[in-house]
Structure 1
Amino acid sequence: MKAFQVKAPHDYQVADIDVPTAAAEEVLVRVAFAGICGSDMHIIHGDNAFVRFPRITGHEFAGVVEAVGDGVQNVAVGDRVCIDPVISCGECYPCRIGRPNVCSSLEVIGVHRNGGFEESVAVPAANVHHLPDHIGLDAAALVEPYTIAANVLDRMQPHPGDRLMVLGAGVIGLTILQMALAKGIEDVIVTDVINERLEAANQLGATHVFNSREQDIEQEVLALTQGEGVPLIADAACVPALLPQMLRLASPAGRIGLLGFSVQPSELVQLEVIKKELTLVGSRLNNRKFPEVLELMASGQLDPLALVSHRLPLNDMPSAIDMLDHRPEEARKVLIQISA
């Protein structure tokens, strides 16, 4: 069967591999669609400290169950499913307090073990989520990015009436925007440096959009908030140098959600944090958010297909990577059609 395999940084190809088998407590999923994520690109570039090579990447995917291993009772052949990539031990301190997404022995499908850019993939049955009948397999492949958004919003603990500022209008920024609106946050500011992305944010319901290359963001946002600042700031741009600006733009008692994996240091002025009693929270992956996202998707409150700019076959993965590397303004979510 075909799979997209990264052998080492910058060394990747679509290759023929053996079909995996479902071990005990696992299911074999025939992958229909898989989305290319920024973290997949980090693996390709050698910027992901967690990956084990060689690796079949892909943690955003959906498909149909084609075999079940011994002991599997919650899943049957023919079920339409999407897969939570977070595999945790259930015993360490984070797991004991309900934070399995930062498990001490965390494994992520597509990072620590093979993922969805292959025709068939074996996954733990416990990580499988059944799809409502009217959610297509293409939309279901995008459940995982929305769980990232749900997680960071929960980490920031919104209060009724809070305004949210999202830095970055790439796919994660747009999922945070949609998720925030679905959760009842009515006022969302979105910033980016690409006008096409800001137009997409505007179409998806952003209250205000600002181009940080063309406008003075601090002046605009402080004028908009009468100098108070913003209670919630989600960093979907993931640029360490932006942290000082986030501290200045946060309102007193504000919360800042950080999502980036950069190893570059960020300048932090302690006075800004203390005088406003700010809360900075990290957010990694998702903490059991798949049921919530599937419910919102089924109710029509999320529009995942609005994020899709390209649908390409698995053999075109190298050209998709080239586009994302060199012409990122042309793409939002690139969806790889594998067997649908």
Structure 2
Amino acid sequence: MKAAVWYDQKDVRIEERAVKEVKDYDVKVKVAWSGICGTDLHEYEIGPILLPKETPNAYTGETTPIVLGHEFSGIVEEIGKNVTEFKKGDRVVVNPVTTRGNHASEIDRYYEFYSLGLHTDGSFAEFVVTNTENVVRVPEELPLDKAALTEPLSVSAQAVKEGEVKDGDTVAIFGCGPIGLFAIVAAKAAGAKEIYAFDLSDERLEKAKQVGATHVLNTRNEDAVAYLKNRHPEGVDASFEVAGVKPTFDSAISVTKPKGNVVVIAIHARNFEFNPVQLMLSGVKLSSSLGYEHETFKKSLDILMNKEIDVSPIMTKKIELDNLVEEGFHSLSNDLSQAKILVKLSGEV
């Protein structure tokens, strides 16, 4: 099969790759669409970060070269002999993360896990073979290109759950890249009444309005803390730090009310100094969110099915697998108008 294989930093090759064996409890999925994640981009530009280049992954025993990609939808092509829940032709999405299952679902992912596209071959390929427990059926009325957004939406939906967002809440989102945009979508689905979005890019802020932000502000022109304090002197109910830099981290704490929630979603590339007294004096609850529970993954399909939710502005471009590097990775690095780029495999909808 044709696949995009990571060999080294800035060395991703489109080549033929063997399809893995379908074991008794496995499902082989013919990939329709696969989204480019920030993780894929980072592994291309500065990796290996999570990829097991020299030491085999402790869970899978595999090392690079590995097929990238983990946000995808497709059609069941083949099932293992003990699989009863699915049949050939079923439309599905796949949760790429597998855990040991030794802890409660809300914390299990923090102990040990592996992921398609990072620790074993992923979805920038014609086929993916995975355990049936990770496969979720897609409703017939949901197009497969939109269904490919389930995984990144799940990351944000889990963070919104951690932030305890409920009907009528006020929410602040710092950073309007793809995960920030999905955080707006998830907050809207959770019932947030006012959603404030902050970024340095007018293009991204326009997308934020399109997907559900009630107020947007370019922080290049005006201070986010002063702007929000003028409207909500006691602070907002929840803030989400999705930019990954110290100024937005500090701002998220400053604009949140006592006992409100600040959730860090961004992967911070650099360390920074932080005075815990700032947190103590604010009275906010600071947490972080990584990945998602499988139940959150399944519920994200419901969000995508919600007729009041429009995620189409997040899908900014569709490309061929052969053009992954130039039109995918390079485009995301150089064009702030891009959000979620989908790679066409079979292209079925």
User: Do the structures match in fold with TM over 0.5?
Assistant: yes
Match of 2:94 among 83, 103, 106: 83
Question: Is residue 322 from structure 1 mapped to residue 333 from structure 2 by the alignment?
Answer: no
Provide the C-alpha distance between the structure 1 equivalents of 2:32 and 2:302, rounded to a whole number of angstroms: 21
Question: Is residue 157 from structure 1 mapped to residue 168 from structure 2 by the alignment?
Answer: no
Farther-moved stretch of structure 1 (123-132 vs 227-236): 227-236
Provide the C-alpha distance between the structure 1 equivalents of 2:48 and 2:269, rounded to a whole number of angstroms: 10
Note the 1:1-340 alignment, pairs <5 A: 1-47=1-47, 49-52=49-52, 53-91=64-102, 95-96=103-104, 98-102=106-110, 104-225=111-232, 227-288=233-294, 289-319=296-326, 320-325=328-333, 327-340=334-347
TM-score normalised to structure 1 length: 0.93
Q: Which amino acid aligns with 1:246?
A: A
Q: Deviation of residue 48 (structure 1)?
A: 5.7
Provide the C-alpha distance between the structure 2 equivalents of 1:231 and 1:266, rounded to a whole number of angstroms: 25
Q: Closer, same or farther in 2 for the Cα pair 1:47/1:218, shift >3 Å?
A: farther
Q: In structure 1, list runs of 5 or more residues that go unmatched.
A: none
Q: Deviation of residue 159 (structure 1)?
A: 4.5
Give the share of equivalent positions with the same residue, in percent: 28
Provide the C-alpha distance between the structure 1 equivalents of 2:33 and 2:133, rounded to a whole number of angstroms: 20
Q: Closer, same or farther in 2 for the Cα pair 1:176/1:200, shift >3 Å?
A: same
Farther-moved stretch of structure 1 (254-263 vs 144-153): 254-263
Q: Deviation of residue 12 (structure 1)?
A: 0.9
Q: Closer, same or farther in 2 for the Cα pair 1:174/1:98, shift >3 Å?
A: closer
SS at match of 1:110: coil
Q: Which amino acid aligns with 1:202?
A: K
> What are the superposed Cα offsets for residues 56-92 of structure 1, whole Å, 9 maximum, x if unpaired?
111100000111123222121111100111101112x
Q: In structure 2, list runs of 5 or more residues that go unmatched.
A: 53-63
Q: Which amino acid aligns with 2:107?
A: R
Provide the C-alpha distance between the structure 2 equivalents of 1:229 and 1:268, rounded to a whole number of angstroms: 21
Partners of 1:86 and 1:286 within 8 A in 2 = no
Q: Deviation of residue 252 (structure 1)?
A: 1.4
Provide the C-alpha distance between the structure 2 equivalents of 1:221 and 1:234, rounded to a whole number of angstroms: 14
Q: Deviation of residue 42 (structure 1)?
A: 1.4
Q: Closer, same or farther in 2 for the Cα pair 1:255/1:187, shift >3 Å?
A: same
Provide the C-alpha distance between the structure 2 equivalents of 1:196 and 1:268, rounded to a whole number of angstroms: 31
> What are the superposed Cα offsets for residues 264-306 of structure 1, whole Å, 9 maximum, x if unpaired?
2233222221123221111111112122111222232433333
Tell me how large the CA RMSD over aligned residues is.
1.6
SS at match of 1:173: helix
4+ runs deviating over 3 angstroms: 46-49
Farther-moved stretch of structure 1 (269-278 vs 209-218): 269-278
Provide the C-alpha distance between the structure 1 equivalents of 2:332 and 2:208, rounded to a whole number of angstroms: 19
Q: Deviation of residue 236 (structure 1)?
A: 1.5
> What are the superposed Cα offsets for residues 76-115 of structure 1, whole Å, 9 maximum, x if unpaired?
1111100111101112xxx23642332x221111111111
Provide the C-alpha distance between the structure 2 equivalents of 1:101 and 1:302, rounded to a whole number of angstroms: 28
Provide the C-alpha distance between the structure 2 equivalents of 1:240 and 1:184, rounded to a whole number of angstroms: 29
SS at match of 1:329: coil
Partners of 1:64 and 1:80 within 8 A in 2 = yes
Q: Closer, same or farther in 2 for the Cα pair 1:197/1:280, shift >3 Å?
A: same
Q: Closer, same or farther in 2 for the Cα pair 1:263/1:332, shift >3 Å?
A: closer
Partners of 2:253 and 2:282 within 8 A in 1 = no
Q: Deviation of residue 46 (structure 1)?
A: 3.2
Q: Deviation of residue 172 (structure 1)?
A: 1.0
> What are the superposed Cα offsets for residues 293-332 of structure 1, whole Å, 9 maximum, x if unpaired?
112222324333331111111111011211112x231311
Q: Deviation of residue 251 (structure 1)?
A: 1.7
Aligned length: 334
SS at match of 2:162: helix
Farther-moved stretch of structure 1 (306-315 vs 199-208): 199-208
